[in-house]
Amino acid sequence: MMLLVAVLCVNAEDAQYQDVHYTIDADHLTAEVTLNPRAAGEILIPETIVVGQNSYTVTAIGDKAFKGCKNLTAIVLPKTIERVYRSAFDGTGILLNKANWSEGCLWIDSILIATDKTIKPRYIVPEGTRLIAAGAFQGNKTIQRVELPTCITRIDHETFRDCKNLQKVVIPTTITSIGEEAFTGCGIYINDKKWKKGALIIDDCLIATNNDLPAKYVFKNKIPIRLIAERAFANRKNLKSVTIPETVTAIPTAAFLGCEGLVDVIIPSTVKSVGNFAFYGCALLKNALLPRELESLGAGAFYGCINLKEQILSDKIEILESATFYTCRGLKAITLPAHLRRLGDGCFAGCSNIEAIELPQTLTFLGEQAFAGCATLRKVVIPAGINSLPKRAFQACTRLYRIDLPDGLYAIGDEALDGCLALEKINIPKSTFRIGVRAFHNCQQLRGIALVDHIHMIEEGAFLECKMLEEIQLPASLLTLQRGAFSHCINLQKVILNERLKQIEDGAFYNCRSLREVQWNDSLQAIGSEAFMDCKYLRTPVLAPAVIVGKNAFKGCKP
């Protein structure tokens, strides 16, 4: 079964606050300024915005956020900003106004946004600089040497890209991360003499590698490597093993992305974080044990590592991001962090050999498709902090025979247990008011289910093809039974309608060919098309004249 999991990014959505557009990250409660093509005049970006019930910290000015806004004359950026894209201000009145420039540099609130050809060939970025925007020096052919200040901690992506005459960059020890392609195409990068055994290293920072990299790579520099740049090893298909030195504290975003031949990675105890997509697509990776003191693990970190055999997760990790272990078919067991609060969309989707999983009681968020396709998973206990079983959470868990739902659960989401072929019985909590679209579709062994009286919605195809169901009593609170809710339940023999049910929609009991008895009520107002079609043992009822009966509602029933 193909799992369509669009979960490569964190849970994000668009929002507007005081006429400025943002993308908000619901997982981390942060916001990024996004496209604002009509921005004009003076704009104040606040430290936080309020959307719904939550407050979000504004941490970034996104790619092309204000591009082309000629009438944008001024902007105030908060201290919370951690990233700015140079392209955000392309073509704006701010960039076009030379009064905003100094010595070939455009500054906004102590952030270096862009440079031009009037910059000094040897430029010392002044202390007090808060940030350097992504791409700030990109394509600048004047610059030859840059000294970075100790007050910044990141060189963002493409910062010095295509600076063809740049031969020297002084990187202070305060720099803790270097973005992808920060130096691609610059004078240092294109100078073959700067490369040693397939690696470009600047001031103890591994910037990039090429195809001359040995298949078994061990850092042997005279001065220890302290930092690995994003995508440093990406797509080195001949790389088989790597030993990361103890001087490194982070494996950055996409560091080993697409290393299809990588089998072994030795990660030292000094590493505290593993970035998004760090080992994405490393299909042969078997061994990459994470340190017991690891503090964060990024989205898609082991996405597609189908041969990863074992993993131990640190108890310091509180959030597992989206698609972290997506399709890691080699995993048979995994122990989740004791203090885990959030488990993201598709985190373990497609891990078809995990037989058991214990969800910690600290868990308060379970993402969509979190365990979809875990075909050998047999039993799950949902923690008390989970108030909704999300969409496709356990879809196609074909051997799941038991799932314990907590008191306080108010909804079972769309296709949450779709295709759980072995599920025999489930106790629905008294707090549940919604059973979503195809929530129990194709649960072929489901024999007993008590529909509690607080359920207000049994949605389209909720129990479609539950072939072993024999009797159903609809909950007292249900007013409408939606389309195809019990269609193709071929062993269903008895249905008890509640006293308040007003409508049975199209095909609700279509092809329930063993159905013999329906206890009708006096509240019924409408029966949809093909609602009881091909229920060959059911006698067509005599209904009140006011009841609207759809086309072929009782076709194939006994007269």
Domain's final residue, options 259, 293, 317? 317
Question: pLDDT at position 221, please?
Answer: 67
| Shared-domain flag, residues 155 and 272 | no
Domain's final residue, options 125, 151, 178? 178
Q: What contacts 326, CB < 8 A, 6 or more positions away? A: 5, 7, 300, 302, 303, 304, 346, 347, 348, 349, 350
The answer to pTM > 0.85 is: yes
| Shared-domain flag, residues 89 and 156 | yes
Residue 37 lies in a domain: yes
Q: How far apart are CA 254 and CA 463, in angstroms?
A: 42
DSSP string, 181-197: TSSTTSHHHH-GGGEET
| Shared-domain flag, residues 123 and 237 | no
| Shared-domain flag, residues 61 and 137 | yes
The domain of 220 spans 193-317
Contact 203, 171 (CB under 8 A): yes
HSE-up of 101 (CA within 13 Å, CB side)? Answer: 14
- DSSP letter (8 states) at residue 375: T
pLDDT, tens digit, for every residue of 518-538? 999 999 999 999 999 999 999
Q: How far apart are CA 39 and CA 36, in angstroms?
A: 6
Residue 378 lies in a domain: no
pLDDT, tens digit, for every residue of 119-154? 999 999 999 999 999 999 999 999 999 999 999 999
| Shared-domain flag, residues 143 and 72 | yes
| Shared-domain flag, residues 164 and 203 | no
What percentage of residues in the chain have a pLDDT greater than 70?
97
DSSP 3-state of 96: helix
pLDDT, tens digit, for every residue of 217-259? 988 766 789 999 999 999 999 999 999 999 999 999 999 999 9
Number of domains in the chain: 2
| Shared-domain flag, residues 167 and 283 | no
**Does the pLDDT of residue 1 top 50, yes or no?**
no
pLDDT, tens digit, for every residue of 195-204? 999 999 999 9
Q: What is the CATH number of the domain that holds 208?
A: 3.80.10.10
Question: pLDDT at position 10, please?
Answer: 42
Question: pLDDT at position 448, please?
Answer: 80
Residue 487 lies in a domain: no
| Shared-domain flag, residues 155 and 295 | no
Q: What is the CATH number of the domain that holds 48?
A: 3.80.10
Residue 189 sits at φ, ψ, to 5 deg, of: -65, -40
| Shared-domain flag, residues 214 and 156 | no
Domain's final residue, options 302, 317, 332? 317
Residue 165 lies in a domain: yes
Question: pLDDT at position 224, please?
Answer: 85
**Does the pLDDT of residue 157 top 60, yes or no?**
yes
| Shared-domain flag, residues 162 and 293 | no
| Shared-domain flag, residues 70 and 203 | no
| Shared-domain flag, residues 29 and 157 | yes
Strands 503-504 and 526-527: parallel
